[in-house]
């Protein structure tokens, strides 16, 4: 081998040694990169990926958001739903010679689990036949089992009470104030289960029963609409609790329609007609 060939061989060996040295220096870095890629691979392989959203999931989420954005129903709507199962339609027949009319109607409310019905005495007084209709459609004749003439309150018991009755929740009128919301549910002019709303206009009023000379003290005055057929029905607070029994109206004319002043016997007094002391 001549001197020129030996020199080239030495140069090539030197470059090879340099390449090998560089590879050795880069081996730890390459190993780290490989190890990181290996860890990432196994992480994606072993960790459970979240389920993909379906169209049903999206629709359910949208419906939930829309429901939460829908305002709650009015208090009056809630009150109506609460009292409606306890409301009674009362129809009477008068077949005696002194009867002013052959037929009459009013309202009542179931107040206990025995099916006792509170109403106004003038609705059923002197009636030859008393027919009551419950919220489930059950109809039955009924009889007066107790009365409180000085408060125009009567308690009825149906001959055929439904197997299941829904008594109303009795409230406390003493916790009410002038200006509080007041709701009336009854059967004005025979329009079954109608509702009107207003406020409490006053307390401790004296109501004079037309044609009787009877004066009833301690009445609740309201401006919620009251008309013939509402008598005996419940006066309710915003929670749907009965705070009174509708008795009548004041009208400066000879007409019997409502002009803005109605009266109710406080329920704390009305329950005395059931033989229970006021609470």
* Main-chain dihedrals φ then ψ at residue 173, nearest 5 degrees: -65, -20
Q: Could you give the count of Cα atoms lying within 13 Å of 242 in the half-sphere of its Cβ?
A: 32
Q: Which residues pair with 248 in a beta bridge?
A: 263
Active site residue 152: yes
86, 107, 120, 152: the catalytic one is 152
86, 122, 196, 223: the catalytic one is 122
Residues 6 or more apart from 80 whose CB is under 8 A from it?
183, 185, 195
Q: Which residues pair with 144 in a beta bridge?
A: 156
The b-or-e profile of 112-123 (16+ CB within 10 A means b, else e) is beebbbbbbbbb
Q: Which two tokens stand for residue 64?
A: 């939930």
| Residue 197 DSSP SS3 | strand
| 243 contacts 176 by C-beta, under 8 angstroms | yes
Residues 249 and 259: their CA atoms lie apart, in Å, by 8
107, 120, 231, 241: the catalytic one is 231
N-terminal to C-terminal alpha carbon distance within the chain: 130
**Beta 234-236 vs 242-249: how paired, if at all?**
antiparallel
Residues 111 and 271: their CA atoms lie apart, in Å, by 9
For 33-101, give the secondary structure using H, E and C. HHHHHHHHHHHHHHCCCCCCCCHHHHHHHHHHHHHHHCCCCCHHHHHHHHHHHHEEEEEEECCCCCCCC
Q: List active site positions.
A: 122, 152, 231
């Amino acid at each position: 081998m001549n001197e020129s060939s030996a020199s080239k061989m030495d140069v090539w060996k030197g470059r090879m040694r340099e390449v090998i040295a560089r590879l050795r220096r880069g081996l730890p870095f390459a190993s780290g990169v490989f190890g990181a890629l290996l860890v990432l691979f196994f992480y994606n392989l072993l960790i459970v990926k979240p389920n993909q959203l379906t169209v049903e999931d999206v629709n359910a989420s949208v419906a939930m958001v829309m429901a939460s954005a829908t305002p709650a129903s009015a208090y009056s709507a809630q009150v109506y739903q609460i009292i409606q199962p306890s409301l009674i339609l009362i129809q009477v027949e008068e077949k005696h010679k002194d009867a002013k009319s052959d037929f009459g109607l009013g309202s009542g409310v179931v107040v206990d689990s025995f099916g006792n019905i509170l109403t106004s005495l003038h609705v059923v007084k002197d009636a030859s036949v008393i027919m009551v209709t419950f919220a489930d459609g059950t109809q039955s004749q009924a009889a007066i089992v107790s009365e409180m003439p000085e408060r125009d309150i009567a308690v009825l018991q149906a001959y055929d009470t439904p197997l299941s009755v829904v008594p109303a929740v009795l409230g406390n009128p003493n916790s009410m104030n002038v200006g509080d919301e007041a709701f009336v549910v009854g059967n004005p002019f025979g329009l079954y289960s109608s509702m009107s709303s207003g406020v409490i206009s006053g307390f401790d009023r004296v109501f004079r029963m037309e044609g009787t000379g009877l004066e009833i003290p301690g009445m609740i005055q309201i401006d919620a609409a009251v008309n013939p057929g509402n008598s005996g029905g419940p006066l309710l607070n915003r929670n749907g609790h009965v705070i009174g029994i509708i008795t009548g109206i004041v009208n400066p004319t000879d007409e019997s329609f409502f002009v803005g002043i109605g009266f109710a016997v406080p329920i704390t007094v009305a329950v005395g007609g059931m033989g229970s002391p006021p609470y």
